[in-house]
């Protein structure tokens, strides 16, 4: 009589239970890191847009209007007031979307400062709370700190 080799059902179930426990530990360990990375990327994107706006203003002595929007940093606007000394290659290579895939919003004059650059958050709609809240150049540091405080 030949002896069969292999794993018993009990051994397989124990191994699966151990993997599930380890997987649960890993998930809780890294939970929140994606949100934090999204906020950090948002902060970097806003800083890059602000830098382009400073250069635009330095060259043209004006800022794009709300109607011209952030697109004015990529291609010369044809809506008045048209910039007189627009950089030949523009001020940004392209406009990226926020970490949730939505376009960045821009308002000049701004409600919170000279101009507002902001994301509508994870839901892509005005207002909201938590990840769905509007995050802009006026509150991105506070949003990152609030996320760190909840970790």
Q: pLDDT at position 36, please?
A: 80
- Is residue 2 scored above 70 in pLDDT? no
Q: pLDDT at position 8, please?
A: 81
Which DSSP string corresponds to 59-110? HHSS---TTT-GGGGTS---SSSPPSS--TT-S-S-PPBPTTSPBPEEESS-
* Helix, coil or strand: residue 135: strand
- The percentage of the chain sitting over the pLDDT mark of 70, rounded to a whole number, equals 90
Q: Rounded to two decimals, what is the model's pTM? A: 0.75
pLDDT, averaged across the chain:
87
| Domain extents in the chain | 31-150
Q: pLDDT at position 80, please?
A: 92
Q: Pick from 138, 145, 105, 141: which is nearest to 121 by CA?
A: 105
Angle at 104 between CA 73 and CA 123, to 5 degrees: 170
What does the pLDDT look like over 73-130, one tens digit per residue? 999 999 999 999 999 999 999 999 999 999 999 999 999 999 999 999 888 888 777 7
Domain 31-150 has CATH 3.20.20.70: no
């Amino acid at each position: 009589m030949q002896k069969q080799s292999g794993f018993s059902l009990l051994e397989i179930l124990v191994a699966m239970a151990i993997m599930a426990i380890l997987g649960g530990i890993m998930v809780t360990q890294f939970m929140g890191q994606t949100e934090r990375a999204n906020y950090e990327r948002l902060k970097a994107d806003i800083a890059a847009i602000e830098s382009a706006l400073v250069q635009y203003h330095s060259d043209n002595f004006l800022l794009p209007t709300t109607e011209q929007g952030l697109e004015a940093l990529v291609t010369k606007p044809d809506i008045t007031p048209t910039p007189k000394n627009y950089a030949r290659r523009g001020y940004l290579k392209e406009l990226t979307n926020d970490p949730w895939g939505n376009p960045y919003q821009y308002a000049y004059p701004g409600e919170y400062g000279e101009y507002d650059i902001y994301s509508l958050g994870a839901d892509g709609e005005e207002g909201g709370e938590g990840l769905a809240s509007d995050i802009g150049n006026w509150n991105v540091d506070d949003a990152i700190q609030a996320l760190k405080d909840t970790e």
